[in-house]
Amino acid sequence: MNYDVSIIGAGPGGVFCAYELLKKDPSIKVGVFEEGYPLDKRKCPIDGIKVKSCAGCRVCSIMKGFGGAGAFSDGKYNITNDFGGTLYEYIGRDKAIGLMKYVDDINVAHGGGGTRMFSTSGTPLKKTCMQNKLTLLEAQVRHLGTDVNYVVLGRIYEELKDKVDFYFETRVDTIKDTSEGFDIVCGKGTFHSRKCVISVGRSGSKWMEGICGDLGIKTMSNRVDIGVRVELPAEIFSHITDELYEGKIVYRTEKFEDRVRTFCMNPNGIVVNENTNGIITVNGHSFEDSEMKTENTNFALLVSKHFSEPFKDSNGYGESIARLSNMLGGGVIVQRFGDLERGRRSRKKRIEEGTVRPTLAATPGDLSLVLPKRILDGIIEMIYALDKIAPGTANDDTLLYGVEVKFYNMEVELDDTLQSRHKGLYIIGDGSGVTHSLSHASASGVFVAREIAGA
C-alpha cells in the first residue's frame, strides 16, 4: 500500500480531512491528489485591464488548486443548519454545528483571529423582515474575507506539507475498488490506498458522475438555482450588512409561490466571473482589507428550480440558460433594473450615466431574453420586497448581472458515515451533494477523518 488514506481534491473538504487525520494519528500515511496548482501558483489571468474576461485556462485557478473553489472566495464560514448543505441529515444537528465550530477554531488559530463573527441572534431585522413577507434565516457567520482566507489556507498548507504527500497538477482519472482497498489511477501512475476520500467539489461534478456510474453508486439530481447578481451602493444595505454582514433572506413570490433568496452578500465587494466547465456565470466576493473595499454591495437573488420525474438533468437546464447569456453577451450580461422594467436592453452609455459604477466589465444587454419569465418575475417581485426593508434596492440604476447559477452536484447515495456502498470509499464536500458551502464541506472532512481514525 502507498497510503492508508488517499484524498482526491484539496478543497476545504479534502484539506480539513487531511488536517484532522494527521491530528488524530500523526503516523497515518496520507496522499492528496489535486488537479490544480499549489496555492502560491494559483493565478487567474483576469486583471481588468489586459484580460477583462475569462481566458478559458486549461486548469481554472479560481475553482481548482489547494483550497479548492474556496481559495479566492469571500471566506464566509456560516455556522448553521439552515443553509449551506444537509450534513445534519446524516450526522445530526448538534454534531454538525459542533464540527463547524471546530473548523472555525482552526481558522482562527491559523490567522483568522482578527476577523469578526456576526450573528442573527436577537436582531430586530428579523421582525422587519416578517412584517414585509420576508424571512431572515438564522446563522452565525465568520467573514474571513478573500485576503485573510488566503493567509489561513497558506498556514494550514505549511503545517501539512511535510506530513502529507501532495500531488498537484494531478487529475485522478479513475478509482478502482480492489479487494484490499482502492487503486487511484492518474497521470503520475497508480497509487494504492486502504481507504479513499473523494472531495472533488463542484468543478469535479461531471467526473463524479462518471465514477458513480463506473462503481455502481446511485445518484439523484433534481435542483438548480438560477438568478442574477444585484449590485447597488453599499449604503442601501449598510443597516443589514453592518449588523449581520450577510442577511440570508427568503421571499415566497405572490404570483407562483416560488422561493427566491438572497445568496452570497458582499458588502463593499466586487462582482466576478465564474467559469464552471467552460460556462461563464457570475459570482461575487469582498476583501477584509479596507483598501480593497469598493463603494458597492453585491448579492445574488436566486430562484430554486426543483424538477420531478422524468426530467433528471437539472444542472443541464441551468447550463443551457447560462450558455444563452454567454451566446448573447459573450459572457456575463449586465442590465440596469430600470431598463429591465421598461423592457429595453441596457447600453454602455446608459450604464455609464447611472449612479452605480459596475465592478465587473460585463456586456450591457437584456436579461429578459435569457431568463425564463417565471424566474425573472420572481426576481423582480423580490427586488420590490427588499425595497421595503432596504429602500433604494428597486432604483433604476441598480445593476443586475446574469446569469448566476448555483449548480448542485447530484446527491450521491451514502450512509450516515458518508461512506458509499464500497466499504472504505467516502464521498464528502460539495462533490457528494451533501454540502454547498465552506463550513459544511470542511465539517464533512473533519467528520470522515474522525470516522476513519476511529475517534
Ligand X SMILES: Cc1cc2nc3c(=O)[nH]c(=O)nc-3n(C[C@H](O)[C@H](O)[C@H](O)COP(=O)(O)OP(=O)(O)OC[C@H]3O[C@@H](n4cnc5c(N)ncnc54)[C@H](O)[C@@H]3O)c2cc1C
> Where does this chain bind ligand X (CB under 6 A)?
8-14, 33-36, 64-65, 68-70, 73-76, 78, 84, 171-172, 199-204, 207, 264, 274, 283, 285, 429-431, 436-439, 441
CB 442, min distance to ligand X, A = 7
CB 206, min distance to ligand X, A = 9
Residue 30 or 441 having the CB closest to ligand X = 441
Residue 199 or 335 having the CB closest to ligand X = 199
Residue 172 or 250 having the CB closest to ligand X = 172
For 166, residues 6+ apart whose C-beta sits below 8 A from its C-beta are: 10, 32, 34, 38, 66, 160
CB 251, min distance to ligand X, A = 21
Residue 200 or 244 having the CB closest to ligand X = 200
Q: Give the three cell numbers for residue 130.
A: 416578517
Say if residue 387 is exposed, middle or buried (CB neighbours under 10 Å; 0-12, 13-18, 19+): middle
Q: Are strands 259-266 and 296-306 parallel, antiparallel or unpaired?
A: antiparallel
For 340, residues 6+ apart whose C-beta sits below 8 A from its C-beta are: 366, 367, 368, 376, 380, 400
Residue 74 or 381 having the CB closest to ligand X = 74
CB 374, min distance to ligand X, A = 26
Q: Which pairs from 203-206 meet CB under 8 Å and 24+ separation? A: 203/35, 203/60, 203/63, 203/64, 203/68, 203/69, 203/276, 203/277, 204/8, 204/9, 204/35, 204/431, 205/277, 205/315, 205/407, 205/409, 205/410, 205/431, 206/277
Q: Give the three cell numbers for residue 189.
A: 501512475
CB 395, min distance to ligand X, A = 26
- What is 221-237 written as a DSSP string? --EEEEEEEEEEEHHHH
CB 352, min distance to ligand X, A = 26
Residue 188 or 421 having the CB closest to ligand X = 188
For 113, residues 6+ apart whose C-beta sits below 8 A from its C-beta are: none
Residue 7 or 389 having the CB closest to ligand X = 7
Residue 44 or 125 having the CB closest to ligand X = 44
Q: Are strands 219-220 and 76-79 parallel, antiparallel or unpaired?
A: unpaired
Q: At what angle do helices 12-24 and 438-453 cross, to 10 degrees?
A: 30
CB 59, min distance to ligand X, A = 7
> 387: alpha, beta or left, given left = phi > 0 and alpha = psi -120 to 50?
alpha
CB 168, min distance to ligand X, A = 9
CB 249, min distance to ligand X, A = 16
| Cα–Cα distance list, 343 to 220, 337, 365, 369, 372 (Å) | 38, 10, 11, 10, 14
Q: Are strands 411-412 and 219-220 parallel, antiparallel or unpaired?
A: antiparallel
CB 85, min distance to ligand X, A = 8
Residue 6 or 398 having the CB closest to ligand X = 6
Return the C-alpha torsion angle 351, 266, 280, 404, nearest 10: -90
